[in-house]
Amino acid sequence: MNNIAVNLQAVQQQIYQAEQQSKRERCSVKLLAVSKTRSANELETVIKQGQIDFGENYLQEALDKQIQLNNSQVIWHFIGSIQSNKTKAIAENFSWVHSVDRLKIASRLNEQRPPHLSPLNILVQINVSLEHSKSGILQHQLMSLATEIEQLPHLRLRGIMGLPAPTTKFSEQQKQCETLASLYNQLKQSQKTIDTLSMGTSNDYQAAIAAGSTMVRIGTAIFGPRTQ
């Protein structure tokens, strides 16, 4: 087996252990393979291992790989920041969008989602670290944006996404993950369709799973360090 396949198995094993340690059900955490900057061949390696959910940040790069792979089993998640001139292609070519942070973008995705496709799954991105460089809404803005998104018939609001500030301190990771988890639980009380807390990267997925993440987004730990 090559490195990528070995890494994928190790990550799957770590997720399983984290589920057990926090007394969570087996398979309660979905693995999203973050494949930005990776070649179609590298994706193919993990597809062969049964990985079907992929997260991409850059639209053109993702569309190129979708054509190269030509595999209708793959589930594509858009996780990068969204400019309004990109919404049409995103609405047409992805099943999930994790990075919705304003109503204008949600409305465009709703209008541009082809009616023959199932509703586009939406996560609202929360800026939990309060870094100015990060996109995402502030916590107190969530309920009103969620209420507006719920009115849009071609979208299905599934939950929230957060990208905690990078830190190797477990207690600091925990604190940010718990903030996101409590926000998620609040949203879940108000809506039956809410079932996804997208939280945790290579750096902090153990803390994220302990706090209640249902989807971890992992790039580096599977594919190795990015050079770009």
Ligand X SMILES: *Cc1c(COP(=O)(O)O)cnc(C)c1O
Q: What residue ranges bind ligand X (CB under 6 A)?
A: 34, 36, 57, 79, 163, 201-203, 217-221
What whole-number distance in Å separates Cα of residue 33 and Cα of residue 201? 10
Q: How far is the CB of 79 from ligand X (least distance, A)?
A: 4
Q: How far is the CB of 106 from ligand X (least distance, A)?
A: 18
Between 114 and 166, CB nearer to ligand X: 166
Between 152 and 163, CB nearer to ligand X: 163
Q: How far is the CB of 99 from ligand X (least distance, A)?
A: 7
Between 120 and 215, CB nearer to ligand X: 215
**Which residues, at least 6 apart from 138, have a Cβ–Cβ distance to it below 8 Å?**
126, 127, 130
Q: From residue 83, how far is each of 65, 80, 133, 157 by CA, in Å?
A: 20, 10, 16, 20
What whole-number distance in Å separates Cα of residue 5 and Cα of residue 12? 11
In the bound complex, which residue of the shown chain has the CB atom lying closest to ligand X? 219
Between 57 and 191, CB nearer to ligand X: 57
Please give the span between the terminal C-alpha atoms of the chain, in angstroms, as a whole number.
25
Q: From residue 134, how far is each of 40, 42, 147, 171, 182 by CA, in Å?
A: 28, 28, 23, 21, 20
Q: How far is the CB of 204 from ligand X (least distance, A)?
A: 9
